[in-house]
Amino acid sequence: MSHTLALRPLSALAIILAGGALLAAPVLAAEEEAQAQERIEQASERAETQQDDAQANEAEDGAGEEDESEEDEDVTGVEADHAGHTEHIIEPEEDEHADNPAVQAYREIAERMHAEMQTEYNGDPDVDFARGMIAHHQGAIDMANVVLTHGENEAIHDLAREIIEAQEDEIAFLRDWLAQHGYDEAE
């Protein structure tokens, strides 16, 4: 008797993509860290230049106050992106979806998920990965629940239910793994 694994095409694709993402994660994390360090160094250089310019401008009766404020915005933006990891959250100029409960829910989920993923790293890549992925998977579950509440497409609902089931299993595995290795979910 032959046993075959019956997977829905989307489930198989999700498994393949997740595996690829796991393989690429260390490379992408190293690249992101290098880019963040470069942005920090550039911000520091701009801040030093800004201080030098401000001192020179004071001698010229404040002639460069407008340029100084523009540079302040650049430094603040870089620091905010690095510190809050906010480059993933896109907020429109005008909140054209302020009255859309699904959009508001997605925004809240993304904000919470990114904040929770910024755990206190302990330096053990396995532990840091497990802790970050718990928050990431919980975000996926929360998003799936939003589409089940507000969405209308049955194919998307089917996928959302599959995502919930798969992510709950992975969260359970990660929590068990952390506990078996003597770690709390968060420190």
Residue-level pLDDT, tens digit, the chain, 187 residues = 444 444 455 555 555 555 555 555 555 566 777 776 777 777 667 667 666 666 666 666 554 444 444 444 444 444 444 445 555 555 555 677 778 888 888 888 888 888 888 878 889 999 999 999 999 999 999 999 999 999 999 999 999 999 999 999 999 999 999 999 999 887 6
State the pLDDT at residue 47: 64
Instruction: Give dist(CA 112, CA 33) in Å, integer.
Output: 21
Angle at 145 between CA 91 and CA 97, to 5 degrees: 30
- Alpha-carbon distance of 40 to 34, in angstroms, equals 10
Q: 133 near 170, Cβ under 8 Å?
A: yes
pLDDT, position 134: 93
Give 23-66 as a DSSP string: HHHHHHHHHHHHHHHHHHHHHHHHHHHHHHHHHHHHHTTSTTHH
The per-residue pLDDT for 93 is: 58
pLDDT at 26: 59
Entry pTM: 0.50
- Ramachandran region, residue 75 (left: φ > 0; alpha: ψ -120 to 50; beta: rest): alpha
Contacts of 133-141 with CB under 8 Å at 24 or more apart are: 133/170, 133/174, 134/171, 134/174, 134/175, 134/185, 137/167, 137/170, 137/171, 137/174, 138/113, 138/167, 138/171, 139/109, 139/110, 139/112, 139/113, 140/167, 141/167, 141/168, 141/171
- Is the Cα torsion angle 128, 130, 133, 138 positive or negative in sign? negative
